[in-house]
Amino acid sequence: MKAIVVGSGAGGATIARKLQSNGFEVNILEAGSFFKPFTRNISWSEPLRRWGLLGGEGNFRHLFPHMNMFRSSEDLLLVRGITTGGSTVLSCGNIVRTHRGLEEIGLDLTPEFQKLEGEIHPEPFPQERWRPLTREMCHVADDMGLNPQPTPKAVDPRLCVSCGLCEVGCHRGARWDSRRFLNEATCKGATLHTNCKVEKVILEGNIVKGVEINHHGKKNSLKADLVVLSAGGIGTPQILRNSGLEVENRLWADIVLTLGGVAPGARQLEEPPMVWYSEHENYILSPYLDILSHFFHKPWRKVSVKDRVGLMIKLADTEKGSVYDDGRVEKHLTKHDDEHFDEALNLAKEVMIGAGVSEPLIKGMYNGGHLGGTVPLKKEDVPLMRPSWMPDGLWVADLSLVPRSQGMPTILLTAALALRVAHEIIHQYEKSLR
Ligand SMILES: Cc1cc2nc3c(=O)[nH]c(=O)nc-3n(C[C@H](O)[C@H](O)[C@H](O)COP(=O)(O)OP(=O)(O)OC[C@H]3O[C@@H](n4cnc5c(N)ncnc54)[C@H](O)[C@@H]3O)c2cc1C
Dihedral over Cα of 289, 291, 292, 296: its sign: positive
pLDDT of 47 above 80: no
State what percent of residues in the chain have pLDDT above 70.
99
The Cα–Cα gap between 55 and 297 comes to 10
Determine the 3-state secondary structure of 413 from DSSP: helix
Please give the pLDDT value at position 298: 92
HSE of 128, CA atoms in CB hemisphere, 13 A: 1
Determine the 3-state secondary structure of 358 from DSSP: strand
In 3D space, the residue among 334, 292, 275 whose CA is nearest the CA of residue 141 turns out to be 275
The stretch 35-63 carries a mean pLDDT of: 79
* Residue 370 alpha carbon, nearest atom of ligand 1: 19
The Cα–Cα gap between 229 and 201 comes to 9
pLDDT of 417 above 80: yes
**pLDDT tens profile 246-263:** 899 999 999 999 999 999
pLDDT of 200 above 80: yes
The stretch 4-32 carries a mean pLDDT of: 98
How far, in Å, is the centroid of ligand 1 from the Cα of 351? Answer: 31
Q: Name the closest-CA residue to atom 53, ligand 1.
A: 369
Please tell me the total number of residues recorded for the chain in this structure: 434
**pLDDT tens profile 113-170:** 999 999 999 999 999 999 999 999 999 999 999 999 999 999 999 999 999 999 999 9
The stretch 354-373 carries a mean pLDDT of: 97
Residue to mutate, 57, 195, 370, ligand 1, most ligand atoms under 8 Å from C-beta: 370
pLDDT band at 222 (very low <50, low <70, confident <90, very high): very high
pLDDT of 285 above 90: yes
pLDDT of 89 above 80: yes
pLDDT band at 54 (very low <50, low <70, confident <90, very high): confident
pLDDT band at 97 (very low <50, low <70, confident <90, very high): very high
Instruction: State the first-to-last Cα distance of the chain, in angstroms, to the nearest integer.
Output: 10
How far, in Å, is the centroid of ligand 1 from the Cα of 90? Answer: 8
Q: How far is CA 92 from the centre of its chain?
A: 9
The Cα–Cα gap between 363 and 254 comes to 17
Q: Name the closest-CA residue to atom 14, ligand 1.
A: 91
The stretch 409-413 carries a mean pLDDT of: 98
The Cα–Cα gap between 338 and 356 comes to 26
pLDDT of 38 above 90: no
Least reliable range by pLDDT among 110-114, 163-167, 309-313, 399-403: 163-167
The Cα–Cα gap between 316 and 233 comes to 15
Ligand 1 pocket by Cβ (under 6 Å): 6-12, 29-32, 79-83, 86-88, 90-94, 167, 197-198, 230-233, 235, 239, 369-370, 398-399, 409-412, 414
Q: Name the closest-CA residue to atom 52, ligand 1.
A: 369
Determine the 3-state secondary structure of 313 from DSSP: strand
User: Treating both helix axes as pointing N-terminal to C-terminal, what angle do 411-433 and 110-120 enclose, rounded to 10 degrees?
Assistant: 110
Q: In sequence order, what DSSP letters do the residues of 6-45 get, joined into one string?
A: E--SHHHHHHHHHHHHTT-EEEEE-SSB------S-GGGG
Mean pLDDT of the chain: 96
Decide: 369 and 314 in contact? Cβ < 8 Å. Answer: no
The Cα–Cα gap between 225 and 208 comes to 8
pLDDT band at 45 (very low <50, low <70, confident <90, very high): confident
The Cα–Cα gap between 230 and 26 comes to 13
pLDDT band at 53 (very low <50, low <70, confident <90, very high): confident
